[in-house]
Amino acid sequence: QRQLSIAVVGLQNSGKTTFTNLLAGKEFAVDTIPTLGINVKNVKLPNRTNLTIYDLAGQTRFQKLWERCFQQADLLVFMIDISDLTTWEQAKNKLHDVIIATNLEHVPILILGNKKDLLPKFPADPLNAKADSSSQQATFASVENSTRKQTWKYVSPLLHNYEYEDIPKYDLCIENQHVLSKVEILSKELGIDLKQGLLHLPHNSKVKLNRDIALFCVSCKDGTLIETVMDWILEL
């Protein structure tokens, strides 16, 4: 039996409990109750893995509880609601705080841009179609001597043309919000260079990421890429 502990953090209403429920094999639910404090779930997976999921409350008053779970966690999941621009800056800053606070521990971090289903689709353009399908997921393994080389299989379709500096940067507004459903653009907007393993902070400062990091644009509602994310977790 293998034991894997996962701490799920992110702002309120981003979909943490929803994602936790999907991991536990439950259906998507529109009506959820905001989590108070910590909700711990144990899930037995068929391949002899026991998951312990710390589904944390996103409300500001509970965020100080997050740190307590970081020590126990083999994986941090950071949920972002990419459909909500009113909380975007706050979510990004919070993500940066969490990355910096945990960077020395080498704990892998999985960033999920959730609620992709609520973003407008890219204009139908046959030239874009191919690019779209190849840019669904991105994983970066940055810890040296990592035994988890297989995570690179998620990187390869993207890395062929992933160059952080070449990715356009947007002034996000409702008209162009759909760009966040492209994982490489999401990485740029979050300041995360998946290839070099760098976190870009304001005022040109950079932090080397000492950990495995993965980024996916998902929809817990439609189930988009949820299985891929689960596979990725099981490879840890």
Ligand X SMILES: Nc1nc2c(ncn2[C@@H]2O[C@H](COP(=O)(O)OP(=O)(O)OP(=O)(O)O)[C@@H](O)[C@H]2O)c(=O)[nH]1
From the list Mg ion, ligand X, none, partner contacted by residue 136 (C-beta under 5 to 8 A by kind): none
SS3 43: strand
- Least CB distance to Mg ion at residue 17 (A): 3
User: At which residue do the structure tokens 């952080």 appear?
Assistant: 164
Nearer to Mg ion, 83 or 142 (CB): 83
- Least CB distance to ligand X at residue 110 (A): 15
Q: Of 35, 63, 83, 181, which lies in the binding site for Mg ion, with binding defined by CB under 5 A?
A: 35
Nearer to Mg ion, 59 or 196 (CB): 59
Q: Give the number of residues in contact with Mg ion, rule: CB under 5 A.
A: 3
User: At which residue do the structure tokens 């993500």 appear?
Assistant: 95
Bridge partners for 39 per DSSP: 55
Rg (CA), the chain: 17
- Least CB distance to Mg ion at residue 228 (A): 23
Q: CA 87, 91, 93 angle in degrees (round to 5)?
A: 125
Give contact residues for ligand X (rule: CB under 6 A).
10, 12-18, 29-30, 32, 34-35, 57-59, 79, 114-115, 117-118, 219-221
Q: Of 17, 114, 135, 137, which lies in the binding site for Mg ion, with binding defined by CB under 5 A?
A: 17
The amino acid at residue 186 is L
> What is the C-alpha to C-alpha distance for residues 54 and 69, in angstroms, rounded to an integer?
7
Nearer to ligand X, 3 or 32 (CB): 32
Name every residue whose Cβ is closer than 8 Å to that of residue 182 and which is 6 or more positions away in sequence: 122, 132, 135, 217
Nearer to ligand X, 89 or 105 (CB): 89
Choose the binding region for Mg ion from 33-41, 165-173, 204-212, 216-224 (rule: CB under 5 A): 33-41
> What is the C-alpha to C-alpha distance for residues 4 and 12, in angstroms, rounded to an integer?
24
Q: Would the CA dihedral through 48, 8, 14, 176 be positive or negative?
A: negative
From the list Mg ion, ligand X, none, partner contacted by residue 219 (C-beta under 5 to 8 A by kind): ligand X
Nearer to Mg ion, 16 or 94 (CB): 16
Q: Contact at 8 Å (CB) between 14 and 218?
A: no
Binding site for Mg ion (CB under 5 A): 16-17, 35
